[in-house]
Structure formats: structure tokens, C-alpha cells
Amino acid sequence: MKIVFAGTPEFAVPCLRAAARHGEVVAVYTQPDRPAGRGRGLTPSPVKREAITRGIPVLQPENFKTRDSKDALRALEPDVMVVVAYGLILPQSVLDIPVHGCWNVHASLLPRWRGAAPIQRAIEAGDAETGVCLMQMEKGLDTGPVLLSQALAIGEHDTGGQLHDRLAELGAQVLADGLGLLRAGIRPVPRPQPAEGVTYAHKLDKAEARLDFARPAVELANRVRAFNPWPMAEAVIGGERVRVHGAAALPTEHDAAPGTLLAASRDGLDIACADGALRVRVLQREGGKAITAADYLNGRRDLLARA
């Protein structure tokens, strides 16, 4: 079996490892190298680095709009193309090239959370579970029929980063199961997605990171978890802008204006919200590292006096 793999970020690396387990990946497609770091030097994607380590040829077209780019894929004679967070929209003319089409590993239980940021949006919405779908790709955005799926519980303390890592490994497992069936001559049965329950996981925007204490505390606590490690929630506490790494919602009753510091102790900084209070437990000052509320108060004794 000839497999072509297309992916870019760290999330896709476990899937590449699963696809390459039997030496069947004939080529890897990934986004062109991008400037990164302080020096802004061109940096290869995590998928490209993994492919090079494994000795797999790497192709990095800007898009698939040219005849040459499609001819290059066609020349590989792929049985299936596996796509995991590639970052490019594939036209129907590309989806039709592999014998079994293109398979996508998507980090949600479709049709919930189609789109760019399903992991973070699931936590932000307070979902109790999510999962991974192996989907037969079609022209629409994550609208294709599901071949295989696996659910995963979301813990009440899970951050976006922690859930990302667990789903990346689960995605590799589901993909391995699908490829195993195909290798045995059994094509997974495509199941059309239901029309009900469709939601979209819009791309994360750094502007969303600012916490609005006029919202309920539970909503803000979910957002803090969802946005860790990026874009990381931000707030103004005691007149200082900080990043919030860890927080919890408290059912505190109060008459204070949203954003008011209600209490400051080693347990955390309690800030009034529209409903309840947000207890900030881990935070980061400008230019510093993440520290506990207790360590933060060592340098902000004025907050102890005011609270």
C-alpha cells in the first residue's frame, strides 16, 4: 500500500508515525518553512522534521492550484492520502487522486466542532467529552462521512495543551485502526454526519485572551483552561496586566463590581465576576515566569492590605 501523508504541526506527528509504521509512506506534504523564533529564521514544521528523520521525501507546495503540483501527487500513485492539520484546503481534483481518496484525522466528535480549533472550543464550551474522527474528506469544511471514531472524556482540570497531547495519540490509534482495515482489504464503512448538532470551532484569536469579568466565573475558568498554552488568558489584577495560567470558578455571592479583587491569599486571588468569582491560582507577570498566587503576593503586599 502506498500512503501519502499531509500534515504540519506537532499534533500530526503521532499520526505520521502510525502511518509510517510499515514503511508505506512514500511522501510527506507539509507547509513551507516559516520564519520563527527571535532570529525569524526559516524553520521546518514538526512533521517535516519527523519525515526527514525517517528518510521520507518531503514536498512543500504553496498550494495545489498548479497542474505541476497535482501531477507530482498523481505520480506517487497513492492508495490513500492521510491529512492531519495540514493547513491547506484541498480541491476536489486533489481529493480524487488517491485510490481510496483522502482521509482526515479530526480532533472532535463530528459534526460538533468542525473547523480550526476543536480542542480549545470544546473546553471553552464546558463539554464533558470530545474525541477523534477518521473522516473521508470531501469539498466542504469537515463535512465528510466518518469512517471510525473514538470518544475521550475531558477532565475538569484539562488544559488545551493537555487535551491536545491526548487527542494526538488517540488520533494516531484511530488512524492505525483504519489503515489496518484497509491493509486487510476491508474499507471502513463511511457514515454520513447527522444534520443536527453542527457547531464550528473558529480559529483562535489573541484578542479573545483578555478576560471579561462581566461574564460568569465558570465561563472564564473554562477559557483559562482552553487557552493554555496559547493564546493564554490575560487579565488586569491590582492595576497590573498578567497572564493567567490556572484558575477556578467559585460560587461566591457578592455585590461587587466585576473585576473587583474580593480576596487575596496563598490559595489565590478571588476576582468578582457577573456570577461567582474567579480564583486565579497561577499567573505570570510581564517578562517573568508562571508563579503561584502565593509567590505573586510576596511581591504585591499591597493587594493583601486592600483585599
CATH number, domain of 16, equals 3.40.50.170
Whether residue 302 is predicted with pLDDT greater than 70 in this model: the reply is: yes
Last residue within a domain, chosen from 151, 186, 201: 201
Q: What is the pLDDT of residues 216-258, one digit of tens each?
A: 999 999 999 999 999 999 999 999 999 999 999 999 999 999 9
Confidence at residue 248, expressed as pLDDT on a 0 to 100 scale: 98
Q: Do residues 234 and 211 touch, judged by C-beta distance below 8 A? A: yes
Q: What is the pLDDT of residues 40-67, one digit of tens each?
A: 788 999 999 999 999 999 999 999 999 9
Confidence at residue 306, expressed as pLDDT on a 0 to 100 scale: 64
> What is the domain range of residue 249?
206-306
Residue 283 in marked binding region: no
Q: What is the pLDDT of residues 109-123, one digit of tens each?
A: 999 999 999 999 999
Query: Do residues 122 and 248 both lie within one domain?
Result: no
Question: What is the Cα–Cα distance from 126 to 40, expressed in whole angstroms?
Answer: 37
Query: Do residues 183 and 216 both lie within one domain?
Result: no
Residue 220 in marked binding region: no
Last residue within a domain, chosen from 183, 201, 219: 201
Residue 189 binned pLDDT confidence (cut-offs 50, 70, 90): very high
Last residue within a domain, chosen from 174, 201, 228: 201
Residue 109 in marked binding region: yes
Mean residue pLDDT across the chain: 96
**pTM of the model as a whole:** 0.95
Query: Do residues 156 and 264 both lie within one domain?
Result: no
Number of domains composing the chain: 2
Residue 147 in marked binding region: no
